[in-house]
Amino acid sequence: MTNNRRTSKRVTIADVAREAGLSPTTVSHSLNDIGQVDPRTRQHVKDVAARLKYRPSVRAQRLRTGRSHAIALLSSMPAAVSAGESQLGFFTELAMGLARRALLSGYVLVLAPPMDQCDPLSLMDIDGAILLEPAPDDLIAQELDERAVPYVTVGGEPGPNNIDLQHAAAADLLLSHLYASGARHPGLILGASGRASQRSFHERYLAAAQAQGFTPVVAMAAEEEGEAAGQQAAARLLAEHPKLDALCVPIDTFASGALHAIEAAGLSVPGDLLLTTRHDGVRARMCHPPLTAVNLHLDAVSSAAVQRLLQILGHEIKDPLLDLPVPDLVARLSTGA
């Protein structure tokens, strides 16, 4: 039996260098967007490589550079709040945008699902990481520092290597919307971890209480207990504060739990209470009624996070995303929309 498939010699860096009239090092730096190479030379190399149908060998790149060309998405948030039973929470939704952007930049994304009893870094060969909403004294952040692994945070403390999720803007959107929708005694349910998002929502809620003249009513819930913790916190607030007419619950897992508590108390949303959450994700859209939330523009957040990490790793970024879109309110039936 004859094999009719045409075989051809693989085009190498040396072939491109010979055709371009440049050194293999210059060609390598040009193709990988690293080093100090004149932009016209870099483009010339890419044009020659395209004409010769050069395809880089990922294995050779790893051996040559000592890099894995892999980055990881990490989070210390318990799976109960970051993904939930459906595995379609904030963490996994952000991962899709990160994986797409990383792959277009020549990297693969390693998704390390939140695990309470495992050190994921001991099992991975990565060049860098993106850490989602770290807690104060976050153990994963400490491990990254100890291992000298470059990383970017998303929704963490302000700084040059943090991608801002604009917590205060999101909180103001939801709280002002509740007031405009008729709420005069709103309550707040937060995660007890002390993450930047929860602290910011607390601060903006207290500011709104002072500005609008209502008494603050706040409950804390344990992240690791997931939806059940949100349900218990909401039930407690409803029993202790019968005048409540709205709940702002930034963590969407807690928000769906709050909805169960409201129904168990014989009340309805939005008839008796208005209900909002932060992330406009699958959970917010699939609740009954659907929850008013905020579009955090996760595609833009993903692009900015990958770009910043690649800059830290030494890559030149063309047209970096400098300003993220401001969050947008997505009004739904849970607030009467």
pTM over 0.75: yes
Rounded Cα distance, 75 and 39, in Å = 37
Give me the pLDDT at residue 88, please. 54
Give me the pLDDT at residue 6, please. 44
Pick from 337, 309, 307: which is nearest to 322 by CA? 307
pLDDT tens profile 57-100: 655 555 555 566 899 999 888 776 665 554 456 788 888 899 99
In single-letter form, the type of residue at position 166 comes to: Q
pLDDT in tens, the chain (337 residues): 444 444 457 888 889 999 999 998 898 888 877 788 899 999 999 999 999 988 776 555 555 555 668 999 998 887 766 655 544 567 888 888 999 999 988 899 998 766 555 677 777 889 999 999 999 999 999 999 999 999 999 999 999 999 999 999 999 999 999 999 999 999 999 999 999 999 999 999 999 999 999 999 999 999 989 999 999 999 999 999 999 999 999 999 999 999 999 999 999 999 999 999 999 998 899 999 999 999 999 999 999 999 999 999 988 887 787 789 999 999 999 999 8
Give me the pLDDT at residue 122, please. 75
Give me the pLDDT at residue 2, please. 42
Map out the domains of the chain with their CATH numbers. 13-65 (1.10.260.40), 70-165+297-321 (3.40.50.2300), 167-296+329-335 (3.40.50.2300)
Rounded Cα distance, 153 and 160, in Å = 10
State residue 82 phi and psi, 5-degree precision.
Answer: -85, -25
Contacts of 118 (CB under 8 A, 6+ apart): none
Query: According to DSSP H, which parts of the chain are helical?
Result: 13-20, 24-31, 39-51, 58-65, 79-82, 90-104, 139-146, 167-180, 196-212, 226-240, 252-264, 282-286, 298-312
Pick from 327, 328, 330, 335: which is nearest to 247 by CA? 335
Can you state the angle between helices 24-31 and 39-51, rounded to 10 degrees?
Answer: 90
